[in-house]
Amino acid sequence: MKKHHMLWAAFVLSLLVAGVSLLGQMHRPYRNGSVWDLEFIQVKPGMDPAYLGWIASDWKKEQEALKVQGIILSYKVLQTEGHTPADWNLILMTEFKDLASLEANEAKADAVAQQVSGDEEKQMEGYKQRAAVREVVGSRLAREIILEPRQ
């Protein structure tokens, strides 16, 4: 009989733990939002007009094409001062619905880039030209956290 009570108590305890765990998830005061691809750029001294000109033309054209195709949600450019000589002073931000759509649309995004910017050889030439005016310091993927519970 004792064994039966112990099994019953273990069963009830496991149900309580599972219920509390689910309750905590259901009442979480935040939810996952979109995913941002962040590129940290160091624009070389005196080269802001040249690089920002490229951002306002070719980069923007590609971002708009990706947006029209539904591959990205939005994009932004943030400029700041660098705190050290090796620090970034510009962030290129591209917003995706989620990680799954970022990965699922990789081939489609490459095709859009080729339509807008040219074949791989032309794109490589563009990378070389931009290397003269900027350096890519790093990149990150970041998930936005929405400070509201899931509906």
pLDDT band at 132 (very low <50, low <70, confident <90, very high): very high
For residue range 44-70, what is the model confidence (pLDDT) as tens digits?
Answer: 999 999 999 999 999 999 999 999 999
In a domain, 80, yes or no: yes
In a domain, 12, yes or no: no
pTM: 0.78
For residue range 116-126, what is the model confidence (pLDDT) as tens digits?
Answer: 888 888 888 88
In a domain, 11, yes or no: no
Domain with 68, as residue range(s), is 31-146
Average model confidence (pLDDT) across the chain: 87
**DSSP letter string over the chain?**
-HHHHHHHHHHHHHHHHHHHHHHHHHT-S-EEEEEEEEEEEEEPTT-HHHHHHHIIIIIHHHHHHHHHTTS-SEEEEEE---SSTT---EEEEEEES-HHHHHHTHHHHHHHHHHHH-SHHHHHHHHHHHHTTEEEEEEEEEEEEESS---
In a domain, 7, yes or no: no
Total domains, the chain: 1
In a domain, 38, yes or no: yes
CATH number of the domain where residue 71 is located: 3.30.70.100
In a domain, 8, yes or no: no
